[in-house]
Chain A
Amino acid sequence: DTGVSQDPRHKITKRGQNVTFRCDPISEHNRLYWYRQTLGQGPEFLTYFQNEAQLEKSRLLSDRFSAERPKGSFSTLEIQRTEQGDSAMYLCASSPRWEARGVNYEQYFGPGTRLTVT
Chain B
Amino acid sequence: QKEVEQNSGPLSVPEGAIASLNCTYSDRVSQSFFWYRQYSGKSPELIMSIYSNGDKEDGRFTAQLNKASQYVSLLIRDSQPSDSATYLCAVKSGSARQLTFGSGTQLTVLP
Contact = CB atoms under 8 A, between A and B. Distances in A.
Interface of A: 31, 33, 35, 40-45, 48, 50, 55-56, 58, 89, 91, 103, 105-112
B96 interface: yes
B103 A40 contact: yes
Contact of B43 (A33, A45, A105, A109): A109
Interface residues of B, number: 24
A33 B97 CA distance: 9
Contacts, number: 59
A40 B88 CA distance: 11
Contact of B98 (A56, A103, A110): A56
A3 to B, nearest CB: 10
Contacts of B8: 40
A71 to B, nearest CB: 20
A109 B44 contact: yes
A52 to B, nearest CB: 15
B101 to A, nearest CB: 3
